[in-house]
Amino acid sequence: MIFDKYYVLDTNILLEDANNIFKLSQDSKNLIILPETVLDEIDSKKSGFDEINFQAREFARILENSLIKESIKKDSYKIIRLEIENTQNAIIDIISKDQYDLDTKNVSLNIINDRKILEIATFSNDYYKKEVEFLSLDIMARTRAISLDIKTDALVGTTDKEFNYEYIKTIEIDFHQQEELYNEEIIKFDPEYKIYNYSYCFKIKDSDQVILANIINKRIVILDEGEVRNQIITPLNKEQLFFSNAIINHVINVLIIEAKAGSGKTLLALSGALKLVRQKHYQKIIYIRNSIESLDKGEDVGYLPGLEEKFAIYNHPLMDSLDYIIRSEYKKKRTKKNQENIPELDDQEVTSRIEQLIANYSIETMWVGEMRGRTLSNAFIIIDEAQNMSNKTMQMVLSRIDNSCKVVILGSNKQIDNFYVNKYTNSLTTLLKSTQNENTLVNTFAIKLEKVLRGPITEWAESIFTK
């Protein structure tokens, strides 16, 4: 039987989305080749409640609908052909070997498994008399494949052009036009307006004056800088002002933020959330962070509710932000009272105040594994580390949220730690790309925070390591 294409899949392709097997098969036009090691790795992931565990179980269900068509021995290799005939069709060859050629001394398990998979890929090139393509999200595995003269790709998107949407746009206007800006359609001032131009700097000609505005429903909403700055953490530049203004604007319900390390994204999101809960627009704050504990195993660390002891361990960005907020608020009060003799807060008092803040504002973290079947209501939701979430994970999380919530999604494509996604396939990129298309379902906002405010060391590190 002749196929259009022959794909050898790495484990991460199926744990990113089990249904990739049907997408790649294209209704049995292409042959899917699965090394037995891939099945072993997927089988080891079936227990648990993280997204990769769900995908492992989903793939097992897919295989349950398959029929064994033939079994062939070729030298020391065994090929079992499966056919899946359902709403979607696929033909799969599972290839195993009695004894692999690799040397396993002083080599870690994940490297051993990669080499087993690539040994099957090398055999497949000869056996099918066609060039097979090895698909993996792991750059190290792909590099090893290239060294063995195996054609390789990263599943999707590796040939996509980098996109750089102009989320903040600067245009010049005449002096008399500034009075016409309020609630006017943006197209009147910028005929080249695009749907992803969420923020504008209107520069007055022959002047140093600049008027900042967000675009909501294609109309100009001028920033009330006094209101925007009236919170615990004060925005320090125009990017932060645009971001903070979008947080407190009640029309916008989904914010997508790509930001460098130290740009203040979590601090500003949390500060805005506290303000809106204090004003009783929402009842609670829910913080969700996808943090990777082991790159080799691809295991997600847990999501823990309330004031449990491990709350701080698994949510350092949140706890660090709460610590900073407590100290900043205390410092502002001292300055207002002009009482320099008031002592600084010690660590024990800060911890006590953080616990009180968590209780007063109903701040909780939520484990992704327990979100299926739930509905989140009347909450300000912060989803951090979105670059480490697969599209399936983000889809599941967002589908739990009703229309009484506001969602702020934070991430940086320069800090991907998840073995099962890359900068082309993670949910942050998918969400950022979605901003080029108009939608009538939700009011979105997006921005990139480029200015590092944590300090000179962070900015220096960003400048030399991200070139």
CA 4/CA 289 separation, integer angstroms: 41
**Tokens 């979100």 map to which residue?**
371
Question: When comparing pLDDT for 275 and 48, which is higher?
Answer: 275
Q: What is the average pLDDT across 84-107?
A: 87
**Tokens 């702020």 map to which residue?**
408
Binning the chain into helix, strand and coil, the percentages to the nearest 5 are 35, 25, 40
Distance, C-alpha 337 to centroid of its chain = 43
Q: What is the average pLDDT across 402-406?
A: 96
User: In this model, does residue 187 exceed pLDDT 60?
Assistant: yes
Question: What's the topology of domain 6-153?
Answer: Rossmann fold (3.40.50)
Residue 294 pLDDT level (bands cut at 50, 70, 90): very low
Record the tokens describing residue 74, joined without a space.
């070729």
pLDDT of 221-269, one tens digit each?
Answer: 999 999 999 998 999 899 999 999 999 999 999 999 998 878 889 999 9
CA 336/CA 47 separation, integer angstroms: 55
CA 361/CA 285 separation, integer angstroms: 7
In DSSP terms, 383 is beta-bridged to 288, 409
Question: When comparing pLDDT for 454 and 445, which is higher?
Answer: 445
What's the confidence (pLDDT) of residue 106?
Answer: 75
What's the confidence (pLDDT) of residue 202?
Answer: 97
Residue 51 pLDDT level (bands cut at 50, 70, 90): confident
Alpha-carbon dihedral sign for residues 366, 46, 35, 89: negative
CA 342/CA 203 separation, integer angstroms: 44
What's the confidence (pLDDT) of residue 342?
Answer: 66
456 CB-near residues (< 8 Å, 6+ apart): none
Pick from 148-162, 197-211, 384-398 the range whose average pLDDT is largest: 197-211
User: In this model, does residue 80 exceed pLDDT 50?
Assistant: yes
Residue 336 pLDDT level (bands cut at 50, 70, 90): low
What's the confidence (pLDDT) of residue 340?
Answer: 61
Buried b (16+ CB within 10 A) or exposed e, 212-249: bbbbbeebbbbbeeeebeebbbebeebbbbbbbbbbbb
Q: How far is CA 411 from CA 257, 311, 337, 415, in A?
A: 6, 21, 38, 8
- Domain range annotation of the chain: 6-153, 161-222, 237-465
Question: When comparing pLDDT for 73 and 309, which is higher?
Answer: 73
Tell me, yes or no, if the two domains 6-153 and 237-465 fold the same way.
Answer: yes
Tally: H helices and E strands in the chain: 15, 19
Domain 237-465: give its CATH superfamily: P-loop containing nucleotide triphosphate hydrolases (3.40.50.300)
What's the confidence (pLDDT) of residue 460?
Answer: 64
What's the confidence (pLDDT) of residue 300?
Answer: 42
What's the confidence (pLDDT) of residue 40?
Answer: 95
Q: What is the average pLDDT across 177-204?
A: 95
Q: What is the average pLDDT across 46-60?
A: 87
Task: Report pTM.
Answer: 0.77
What's the confidence (pLDDT) of residue 303?
Answer: 41
What's the confidence (pLDDT) of residue 465?
Answer: 61
User: In this model, does residue 6 exceed pLDDT 80?
Assistant: yes
Record the tokens describing residue 302, joined without a space.
């847990």
User: In this model, does residue 314 exceed pLDDT 80?
Assistant: no
Q: What is the average pLDDT across 24-40?
A: 96
